[in-house]
Amino acid sequence: MEGMSISLDTPLAALLANKRRVSALKSFGIVSVGDALTYYPFRVTDPVPARAVREARIGEAMAFAAVVRSARVVPMNARHGYRFEVVADDSAFAASRGAPGSVVRLVFFSRRKSYVDWMAMRLVAGASVVVSGAPGEYMGQLQFTHPDILTVVPTPAQPNDARSYDAASMDEGLARVCRPRPVYHASSRLSSEHIHETIVSLLWALGGRDMVAPGTDEIAVQHADDEERFAGTLAEAIPDILPEVTRADRGLLHRAEAFRAVHEPESVKAFHQGIATLRYEEALVCQTALLRTRRDVKAATAHPCTLATDSLRDRFIASLPFQLTNGQREVIDDIAVDMAQDCPMQRLLQGEVGSGKTVVALVAMLQAVGAGYQAVFVAPTQVLAEQHAETIRSMVEALEGDHIIPITLLTGGMKLAARRKALAEAASGEPGIIVATHAAFSKTFQATNLALVVIDEQHRFGVEQRESLHAMPTDGTTPHLLVMTATPIPRTAAMTWFGNLDISWLTELPGGRKPIRTVVVNEADGGTMAHMFSHIRARIDAGERAYIVCARIDDPADGDEGKQDAAPADMELDPYATSEDASTSETRPPLHTVAEIANRLQKLPQFQSIRFATLTGRDKDDVKTRVMADFASGTTPVLVATTVIEVGVDVKQASCIVIFDADRYGLSQLHQLRGRVGRGGTNSWAFLISRAEAGSPAEARLEVIHDSLDGAEIAQADLQFRGAGDVLGDAQSGGKSSLKLLRVIKDADLIADARARAERLLAADPELAGEVQLAGAVLDFTRGNEAFLTSS
C-alpha cells in the first residue's frame, strides 16, 4: 500500500522499543517482521476458562470481567522503574456466574514511563476491562502480574470520549481472551508468552487493528504520534502467495488470515486451518522452484562426453583390483548416457556409507577427461580434499601405458606459490581432474574447459556456491553435475526435495565390509563404561584406532560462547501433534566438550602410555592435515574430535567410535559418524554414550540406531522424529530452512498435489507473470533456503 512504511521486510529493531527482546528474538533467527510471522507455534492450548475471582486457582490461567476501582503509579527508586497497581472488582461478572464478587489486585512493572502512562490512561477508575492470566499469591493475597487486558466500551457510551477501546462489549472481550493460545519453542531468555505478545503486536501494526493492542513491546506507544505508519489492512500488508483458484479448490485461507489464525486463533479448528494453509503454501513454493530449476537447466548447453571404443573410462574399470557391484555398474551406465548428451546432466547419487560412490565419481570424471575436458571434484573440507586427491592419484596411476592424467589439488590452506600453480593448471584447459575445496568458488579460479562437476556431500555447500560452479566455464556452457550424499534420505523425501534431479541409489556394499556392532551405553553405568574403555585399549594394542566424538569444542566459560562445530540436531517434536514443550531442553545437562573428554580419558588407567590427539573445526588446515596423518599412522591412535570427522574421513585401521551425548544428535548424523569405522574390513564397534531418561523419546531414537544398519530405514525414522529440513542437511550446514511445516511422510499426498498444480501453473505461465507474489516467493526460496538442495 502506498505510503505504508511497515512490511514483512521491516527490521524488528526499527519497531520494538525493547532492545533486549530484539536481541533475544535474533537468537531464534527472527530479525524481521516476516521472520516473526513464520516462527510458527508447535502446538495450541485448550481454551482459557472464564472464572470469577472467587473461583481462581493459583497458577491456572483464567479470564474474568471487572470494573477498575482504583489505580496508582508507584516509583521504584531502588530498581529505577515503576509499579502500576490496579484494584479491580468483578461483582457484576461474578453474579452472572452465581458467585460472590471480589476485588483483586493487578500489577504491572516497567522501566519505561511511557508504558506506565499508556496503561494508566487505559485503566482509569470506572473503566470496564476483561482480564486474562494466571493468578499468583503475594503477601497472602491473590494477585495477577502482567495479565492481558482488554478495555471495553463503557455502557452507556460517554460523549466526547476520544479514547479507543479493545472490545465493544464484555461478551466480545471474554470471547477473545478465552481463545486457545499458541505455544512456541522458547528459551530461558524469551518465553513463549513474550514471543506470542511480540507477534500479535506486529500483526496489529501491520493492519490487524481490531486485534488486542500491543502491550510491553509498545509498538503503539512508541509510534503514538505516527498513526499513518500503520495505515492499511492486514491483507494489504500481507499479500497472498497462493493463486486464488488454488485457495478456493483446497478450501484454504488468505495468507493474512492464516497468519492470524495461527498466532491468534479463535478456536483450535481455526488454528489447524491456518497451519494447513501455510503448509500447502510451502509445498507449492518448493515444488514450483524445483520445476523451474529443472526447466532452466535443461535449456542450457553442455559439452557432450561421448565414449570411444577402448575409452579411458573402460580401461580404468578393467584395471580395478576388485569387481564393481551390480549397483555401481548400473549407475555408471546411467551417468554415461547422461554425459553423452548436449544438455547438462543433473544427477543425485545417494549411497550408503561405504557403498563405493567415490569410484563411481572417478569413472564419470575419466569419461570427461577421455572426451578431452576437465572435471572438478569438490570436497567439503581440506582433509577430505587431500584424501580424495591421494586416492584418485593412486587409482589412476594403475592405468598402464597411458599418459599421466593431471590431478590438481586446490585448497584454501595452500601456500601462495602452490595455489598459483594449481590455478594456472586449471586455467590452461588441459584435460584432467581438479580436486578442490571451497577455494574453487573464488573469482580467481577458472576452468576453461570444464565438462563435469562432482560435489561430495553437497549439503555442505550453499546455493550461491553451487550456482558459482555453473559460472566456471568461460565458453558459455553449463557443466554436467553429479552430487553425492551418504546422508541417508528416504526415496519419498529425495523425490520430493530433489525433484529437479535424476536420482540413483547405491545400496549394495562392496565385499569385505563387516556389520558395525552398535552398543548404547548409559553414561551413569560406570562398570559398562570401564569395560568399553578396556575393549578400546585392547583394539589399540592390536594396531587399530579409535575416534571419540564430542559435540562442543570447549566450555563456554572458557570464552568459547558454547561454540560447536556442527550443532547437534536436537529432536524436533512434530508440531501440532504433541503437547510436549520442546523448551524443556533447557533443563538438559551441558554437552561434553573435546577439551574435557580428552583430559578425562588420558587420566584413565586403560589409556596409560597411549597418545591422544584432538581435532576440531577451529584448527587450521595444516594442523588438521598433520593430526589426521598421525592418527592414520598410529602415532596418536586415539582421536578426540567434533563432528568434523562425520563425512568422508577414511582411516582403514579405525575400528571403534565413541559418541558422547549421542541422545542429542539426529539419527542420520549418528549413522554418518558410525560409518567412520570398519572401513578396512576389520570387526568394528560404535558406542553411543547417552544420558537420556528411561522411556524418553531420545532413548527411543537411540534404539533405532542400535537395531538397524539400514540408512534408508534410519532416515525414515529420523523424518518421523524430526523435520525434513534437518534430515536434508540445513542443521549441519548452519543454513536457514524455509521448510518449517512440511513433513515428507505425512504430507506426501499434499506434496504430490502441489507438484501437479505447479506443473500446470508453469505450463500456462512459464515466468509466473500472472502470479507476482508466488514468483517472488519462489525466488526467495531458491536464493535463501539451504535445505533446498539443488543447483540452479
The pLDDT value recorded for residue 733 is: 33
Residue 357 has pLDDT above 50, yes or no: yes
Which residue did the predictor score with more confidence, 2 or 646? 646
The pLDDT value recorded for residue 191 is: 81
Give the 3-state secondary structure of residue 200: helix
CA distance 20 to 18: 6
Residue 467's pLDDT band (cuts 50, 70, 90): low
CA distance 543 to 628: 16
Same CATH topology for 312-506 and 516-578+587-708? Answer: yes
- Taking only the tens place, the pLDDT of each residue in 676-712 is 888 777 899 999 999 988 888 888 888 888 887 776 6
- Taking only the tens place, the pLDDT of each residue in 482-522 is 988 776 666 656 656 666 678 888 876 665 567 889 999 99
Q: Which CATH class is domain 48-178?
A: mainly beta
The pLDDT value recorded for residue 500 is: 65
- Taking only the tens place, the pLDDT of each residue in 306-352 is 988 778 898 899 888 888 888 899 999 999 999 999 999 988 888 76
Average pLDDT, the chain: 81
Give the pairing of strands 128-133 and 148-152. antiparallel
Please name which of 595, 486, 600 lies closest in space to residue 550, comparing C-alpha atoms. Answer: 595
The pLDDT value recorded for residue 576 is: 32
Residue 157's pLDDT band (cuts 50, 70, 90): low
Please name which of 720, 639, 706, 638 lies closest in space to residue 671, comparing C-alpha atoms. Answer: 706
pTM comes to 0.59
- Taking only the tens place, the pLDDT of each residue in 34-86 is 999 999 998 898 899 999 999 999 999 999 999 999 999 998 876 778 999 99
- CB neighbour class for 160 (10 Å; exposed up to 12, middle 13-18, buried from 19): exposed
For domain 516-578+587-708, which CATH number applies: 3.40.50.300, 3.10.105.10, 3.30.1490.20, 3.30.420.40?
3.40.50.300
Residue 227's pLDDT band (cuts 50, 70, 90): very low
Peptide bond just before 575 cis, omega within 30 deg:
no
Tell me if the domain spanning 312-506 has CATH number 3.40.50.150.
Answer: no
Which residue did the predictor score with more confidence, 234 or 94? 94
- Residue 146, C-beta contacts closer than 8 angstroms, at least 6 positions apart: 107, 108, 109, 133, 216
Domain spans of the chain, in order of start = 1-44+185-230, 48-178, 312-506, 516-578+587-708
Which residue did the predictor score with more confidence, 112 or 597? 597
CA distance 454 to 360: 11
Residue 457 has pLDDT above 80, yes or no: no
The pLDDT value recorded for residue 735 is: 35
Residue 723 has pLDDT above 80, yes or no: no
CA distance 655 to 634: 13
The pLDDT value recorded for residue 736 is: 42
The pLDDT value recorded for residue 692 is: 86
The pLDDT value recorded for residue 73 is: 93
Residue 286 has pLDDT above 50, yes or no: yes
Please name which of 707, 637, 697, 643 lies closest in space to residue 672, comparing C-alpha atoms. Answer: 643
Containing 628, the helix (H) or strand (E) segment is helix 621-633
The pLDDT value recorded for residue 547 is: 96
Which residue did the predictor score with more confidence, 282 or 785? 282
Residue 539 has pLDDT above 60, yes or no: yes
- Taking only the tens place, the pLDDT of each residue in 372-423 is 999 999 987 787 888 889 888 888 887 755 567 899 999 887 888 998 999 9
**Mean pLDDT across 257-280:** 94
Instruction: Spell out the alpha helix ranges (H) of 264-415.
Output: 268-298, 312-319, 326-339, 357-370, 382-396
- Categorise residue 201: left if φ over 0, alpha if ψ from -120 to 50, beta otherwise: alpha
Nine cell digits for residue 345: 546432466
